[in-house]
Amino acid sequence: MDTYSAYAYSTAAWLSLQALPLFVSPKLIITLLSPDARTPTDLETYLSRTLSLTLLTLALLNILLSGALPLSSPVNEAEHSPYKGPAALISTTFHISSLVYVYVNYMATGSVCFMLAMVGSGFLGCFGVWCLLFGGEESGKSRVSGWPFRNEEERKAKREKMARKRL
């Protein structure tokens, strides 16, 4: 399993963990969030279940677009999904924006629930950034751009090759 697949599956697990209580029992979630005990309105139930389905859809799309779950029967290891970079970028942006939102609410309320959500979103945001920077190619010399670190071994090999051409 490559890093993008691990990131896609962990993102799907985190989003599913958030979505299942919203879908199964929106009454419990709304009762926990409201200051007074009351029954939820039809609109609150609808929005809760729609958010749950949206999170599950985002999780499934992330898995499919990253290539973690192959869509064709004959699996060719040489073929990589061209959408795994953009899928990781979009889900990383989601995790980082969610982290900022949860951090602001945690600082305002000091709730332990916000702290746990901050840890989960923060971990996945960092993992996504790591995948985008370093999780690409398996071999180090295949496509190295030199950013954010220089590849001194490749530079040395190019200098030696140019020196041999000159002679």
pLDDT, one tens digit per residue, over 119-138 is 999 999 999 999 999 876 55
Average of per-residue pLDDT values in the chain: 84
pLDDT, tens digit, for every residue of 101-112? Answer: 999 999 998 888
The 3-state DSSP class for residue 52 equals helix
pLDDT, tens digit, for every residue of 7-37? Answer: 999 999 999 999 999 899 888 877 777 778 7
User: What is the count of structural domains for the chain?
Assistant: 1
CB 146 within 8 A of CB 136: no
| Residue at 55 is within a domain | yes
Question: Which carries the bigger pLDDT value, residue 85 or residue 70?
Answer: 85
DSSP character at residue 165:
H
105, with CB counted inside 10 A (0-12, 13-18, 19+), is: middle
Helix ranges (H only) for the chain are: 3-24, 26-33, 42-66, 84-109, 112-134, 152-166
pTM given for the model = 0.74
Q: Which domain holds residue 97?
A: 3-69+83-136
Tokens for 148? Answer: 């954010």
84, with CB counted inside 10 A (0-12, 13-18, 19+), is: buried
pLDDT confidence of residue 70:
73
User: Under 8 Å CB-to-CB from 128, ≥6 apart: which residues?
Assistant: 7, 11, 88, 89, 91, 92, 95, 96
pLDDT confidence of residue 74:
55
146 Rama sector, left if φ>0, alpha if ψ -120 to 50, beta otherwise: left
Work out the average pLDDT over 139-162. Answer: 71
